[in-house]
Amino acid sequence: MDPRLAIISERLSRVKRVIAVASGKGGVGKSVISTGLALILALKKKYKCGLLDLDFHGPSCHIILGVDKLDIVEEKGIIPPVINGIRFMSIIQFAEDKPVALRGRDISNAIIELLAITRWGDLDYLIIDMPPGMGDEALDTIRLMRNKEFLVITTPSKLSIGVVEKLISFLRSVNADIIGIIENMALSETSIVKEFSSRIGVRYLGKINYDPGLERCLGSVDCLMSTKFIENLQEILENI
């Protein structure tokens, strides 16, 4: 048995709530929502909050936070650096901006290592930015992390909703706890996502309207926190 598995339980023993932000496909705003949630919880709600970017192939939370380089402090493990009040960990702390070409067992091993070495300490929330889909990262998160809850992101696109339905089915098949669905980048008053949520029996948490000013604020936390996107997300957070 891998001794690191017991260490993971110890590392997470003082984390009250683990929320994995997931989507069926890329491009739905999952990373911005993950980062936005962590910022709201830390800066506005004054909770102790961590953010873990588990998207090994396309990590982007550090870009949203405006971080170029993260200094690693080693003390019986890795102490996550604090960025804008958030304890932040990502594969970029080790790979920098080089591509991470991993698959199968290598991905699982990297996830186990990252979880085993990270000393989160006392946290009210740990937000995990998941990679899109239902691959090794999702399976390992379910297998390795206790008391995890999944927050599912979709856009009103039929393509996105179709893939999310498969994701929901997968999460239910492994008895994962699903908090609900957030509709992102809404362009109109269509009720397609709300009706979809009702049909499959998953709570509809609310929608985030498309914000044309969001892109220019990526990389600047002060600018990001003043957007309509954050305003909408904060309203939804009351239901989570």
Task: Provide the mean pLDDT of the chain.
Answer: 89
The confidence band for 110, taking pLDDT boundaries of 50, 70 and 90, is confident
E-strand stretches of 62-213:
73-74, 78-79, 82-83, 86-90, 123-129, 148-154, 177-186, 204-209
In whole angstroms, give the CA distance from residue 166 to residue 145.
22
At residue 99, the pLDDT reads 54
Measured distance CA(137)–CA(149) in Å, rounded: 15
21 with 129: CB under 8 angstroms?
yes
List the Cα angle 80/63/35 in 5-degree steps: 65
Q: What's the pLDDT score for residue 166?
A: 93
Is the confidence at residue 229, as pLDDT, over 90?
yes
How many Å separate Cα 78 from the centre of its chain?
Answer: 20
**pLDDT tens track for 51-90:** 999 887 778 999 999 997 777 788 888 999 999 999 999 8
Q: Which band of pLDDT confidence, cut at 50, 70 and 90, is reported for residue 199? A: very high
When pLDDT is cut at 50, 70 and 90, the band that residue 109 belongs to is: confident
Average of per-residue pLDDT across 10-32: 93
For 80-161, list the strands marked E by DSSP. 82-83, 86-90, 123-129, 148-154
What does the pLDDT read at residue 36? 98
Q: Which residues pair with 184 in a beta bridge?
A: 208
Cβ(31)–Cβ(64) under 8 Å?
yes
Ramachandran bin of 123, using left for φ above 0, alpha for ψ from -120 to 50, beta for the remaining angles: beta
Give the single-character DSSP code of 130: P
pLDDT tens-digit map of 116-173: 999 999 999 999 999 887 776 677 777 788 789 999 999 999 999 999 999 999 899 9
- pTM of the predicted protein model: 0.93
- Give the CATH number of the domain where residue 60 resides: 3.40.50.300
Task: Provide mean pLDDT across the span 202-216.
Answer: 96
Which helix H or strand E contains 61, and what residues bound it?
helix 61-65
- Residue 28 half-sphere exposure toward CB, CA atoms < 13 A: 30
> Bigger pLDDT: 231 or 110?
231
CA distances from 191 to 5, 29, 194, 204, 206 (A): 43, 19, 5, 11, 11
pLDDT above 90: percentage of residues in the chain: 63
pLDDT at 214: 97
185-190: average pLDDT: 87
Give the pLDDT band of residue 101 (cuts 50, 70, 90).
low
According to the model, what pLDDT value does residue 82 have? Answer: 94
Q: How confident is the model at residue 6 (pLDDT cuts 50, 70, 90)?
A: confident
Number of domains present in the structure of the chain: 1
Which residue has better confidence, 77 or 181? 181
Range of the domain at 88: 4-237
